[in-house]
Amino acid sequence: MNEPEDLPVEVSPFQAQGRLGGFLVSGRWPANTVEWARFLLLAVRMATVPGMLPTSTVFRVREELPDEPVPGAVGLVLAEGPVLGENAVSPGQFARHQPPGLIVLHPPNEIRPSLPDSDDVAAGCVLLPGIPHLGLEHRAAWVEADRRGNITRMVSRAGIDPYEDADTAVLALFVAA
């Protein structure tokens, strides 16, 4: 019999109106920050596809299953809206029902690559909010990758101060009450 950690984390991106609408997660949820960084790598690679992600977009981890889920589905990571502009996610939007994770994806035209000789690089950040006063640390991962699949940056950390990084600060603002 398979132990839970032996089950793979399966991720299926899906489109909504021709744009990246989110991801269906099957098998099991990522168990740690490193596995969330691997999930983020796939998401960032999707953000490099031309037209798939028009602007920097926030995604929310939802443990609820879709209607008529596929066998083995454990939940969804859904696009909630752009970071800026019309229909943007607002500060405190997720404060009432804090999600287990928030992700921001940036398409290539929205970021400056960390390596000067890189082009068509997309980036992303996942924030896994903790409850510091109960000893549960905030965790995060950051990824940059180009459309050829080359990883130009991949970092995962526990015990972060969300306000030390622009992406984690913005995501923390969305879950702050």
Quick check: 136 and 147 in contact, CB under 8 A? no
The ranges assigned to domains in the chain are: 4-175
Given a cut of 60, whether residue 133 has pLDDT beyond it is no
Q: Which of 119, 127, 113 is nearest to 166 (CA)?
A: 127
Q: Own/partner pairs for 154-157, CB < 8 Å, 24+ apart?
A: 154/37, 154/41, 155/37, 156/33, 156/34, 156/36, 156/37, 157/33
Instruction: Tell me the C-alpha distance between 64 and 169, whole Å.
Output: 26
Given a cut of 80, whether residue 164 has pLDDT beyond it is yes
Q: Average of pLDDT values for 11-21?
A: 91
What is the per-residue pLDDT across 24-47, written as a single tens digit (0 to 9) for each? 999 999 999 999 999 999 999 999
Q: Which helix (H) or strand (E) holds 167?
A: helix 166-175
Confidence of residue 5 (pLDDT cuts 50, 70, 90): low
Question: Residue 145 has what pLDDT?
Answer: 92
Q: Average of pLDDT values for 105-118?
A: 84
Give the other-Cβ count within 10 Å of 5's Cβ: 10
Confidence of residue 136 (pLDDT cuts 50, 70, 90): low
Question: Residue 30 has what pLDDT?
Answer: 95
How big, in percent rounded to 5, are the helix, strand and coil portions of the chain?
Answer: 20, 35, 45
Confidence of residue 3 (pLDDT cuts 50, 70, 90): very low
Given a cut of 50, whether residue 80 has pLDDT beyond it is yes
